[in-house]
Amino acid sequence: MTPQEAWDAVLGELQMQLHRENFKKWLQPTRAISLNDDTFLIAVPNTFYAAWLDQKWRYQIKKTVASVLGRELDIKFQIGQQQPGPAESQMTAARLDCPQTAVTLPAAVSNLVSRYTFGNFVVSNNNILAHSAALDVAQNPGQTNNPLFIYGGCGLGKTHLLQAIGHTGVAAGLSVLYSSAEQFTNDYVASLRCHTVDDFRSKYQSPDILLVDDIPFLCGKERTQETFFHTFNERHNASRQIVICSDRPPKSLTSLEDRLISRFEWGIVVGIAPPDVQGRLDILKSKSANLPIAVPDDALKALARIPFRNIRELEGSLNKVTAMAKLSHQAPTGELVDNIFRDIRPAQKTEARSPEKIVEQVARYYDVTPQSILSKKGGRSANTIRHVTLYLLREECQMSLSDISNYLGYKDHTSVSYGLNKITSGLSRDQRLKETVHKITEDLHTATA
């Protein structure tokens, strides 16, 4: 195992422990230099990183190294060559000084991460609508779906889809600007300071396709919202495509002006829900195909059963399994997966998946009371509601059949497995049922996002 492989295994673990932004900012740009009996030497981009990691994350890194490599090591940081960071973070770097042109004009192609293409995007029931809307916009920009507004929790593929639209546009010879609401704000402030408002306007007006990531950044920033409003109107009038990403639907952007929110709803609004077991398996299969080491189906299935909420965690888990398999000279089996993740499974359960939340959300969807779901009274429609509930309890909370039976007051678990079968087989042929389950799952996660 090379130092980099060992460090990758440590990073896989840290990715699951740390907040996404912290991981992306502080750990993603690091790489291993050397590893000997007592020291792990890590390259970082500059002295600031070295000091920050040393003060804030040394303990956690040390602990993780010890748990992954099985021995205590001293961690040292050294300034080294930086790995190219994600385009996203490079682009949000604030530039409030005045270079020759305050507003850097778009270099459309280099703004896009090369692997964020439609070809690399795994379509599953959690993202099928967002994917097809994105594809439609990419092929017919500025036409019916303008703007396209994509929302969903962190790490569910919004930026990936956004940039996939960009790649398709660039390939068709269109000009594309991928930006974030933060970059938009910085550009605007810089253009005021340096009297280059025209450059600013042209940067955001002229591209055929404008992709704006992380729109909630505008919340509470009235002047920038005003500017965004004008940018939006001018582009919309000229039938130039706008695509916006957000972690919440427009209506939940509470400190955004109403007129902006209503404009966001002019075109099409689509959500991406966290993947269910099948969705997670689809993604794991696709990602594992690119790994140097074969991961058998039973290991992938065992991983897919763990309720990771986003694709980043899923990717991290897969990397961790292959790294651990290598370290321990074992094949990456389902058993190894169970051993590695035994401890973190309960921690993954979030409030979104508590049984109470599920019953509450189902009740809201069908406009009945939670009590009516928990009691056995009622006719056929009540049965369907209870079946949908037990399906979600199983799917989202990984509850055992007998726990579900107790919770919903069934006689025994055979009634639960009957209900489960009904929903599972119904999902493959009944479009309405599919939409219902999809919508409740989506609400479940956006309600607590």
Q: Which among ligand ADP, Mg ion, none contacts residue 438 (Cβ within 5 to 8 A by kind)?
A: none
- Closest CB to Mg ion among 159 and 196? 159
Catalog residues that contact Mg ion under the rule CB under 5 A: 159
Stretch that binds ligand ADP, among 74-82, 116-124, 164-172, 382-390 (CB under 6 A): 116-124
Q: Which among Mg ion, ligand ADP, none contacts residue 283 (Cβ within 5 to 8 A by kind)?
A: ligand ADP
φ and ψ of 286, to 5 deg? -65, -45
CA nearest to 341, candidates 325, 312, 320, 315? 320
Q: Measure the CA–CA gap between 185 and 91, rounded to whole angstroms.
A: 12
The contact pattern for ligand ADP, residues 295-314, with x = CB under 6 A and - = no contact, is ----------------xx--
- Total residues contacting ligand ADP by CB under 6 A comes to 16
Q: From the CB of 213, what's the least distance to Mg ion, in Å?
A: 6
Q: Measure the CA–CA gap between 62 and 377, rounded to whole angstroms.
A: 56
Q: Measure the CA–CA gap between 335 and 391, rounded to whole angstroms.
A: 26
- Closest CB to ligand ADP among 127 and 389? 127
- Closest CB to ligand ADP among 280 and 387? 280
Q: Measure the CA–CA gap between 175 and 108, rounded to whole angstroms.
A: 7
Residues of this chain, 236-295, that bind ligand ADP according to CB under 6 A: 283
Stretch that binds ligand ADP, among 156-164, 249-257, 340-348, 350-358 (CB under 6 A): 156-164
- Alpha carbon distance, N-terminus to C-terminus of the chain: 39
Q: Exposed, middle or buried: residue 60 (CB in 10 Å: 0-12, 13-18, 19+)?
A: middle
Q: Between 431-447 and 355-366, two packed helices, what is the crossing angle to 10 degrees?
A: 120
- Closest CB to ligand ADP among 116 and 228? 116
Q: 């599919």: which residue's tokens?
A: 434
Stretch that binds ligand ADP, among 75-83, 121-129, 192-200, 203-211 (CB under 6 A): 121-129
Q: From the CB of 129, what's the least distance to ligand ADP, in Å?
A: 13
CA nearest to 267, candidates 293, 234, 244, 301? 244
Q: Which among ligand ADP, Mg ion, none contacts residue 312 (Cβ within 5 to 8 A by kind)?
A: ligand ADP
> Which of 122, 306, 404, 423 lies at the binding interface for ligand ADP (CB under 6 A)?
122
> Which of 12, 155, 169, 307 lies at the binding interface for ligand ADP (CB under 6 A)?
155
Query: How would you label 11-31 residue by residue, b for 16+ Cβ within 10 Å and e otherwise?
Result: bbbbbbebeeeebbbbbbbbb
Give just the sign of the alpha carbon dihedral 75, 80, 81, 85: positive
Binding site for ligand ADP (CB under 6 A): 116, 120-122, 127, 152, 154-160, 283, 311-312
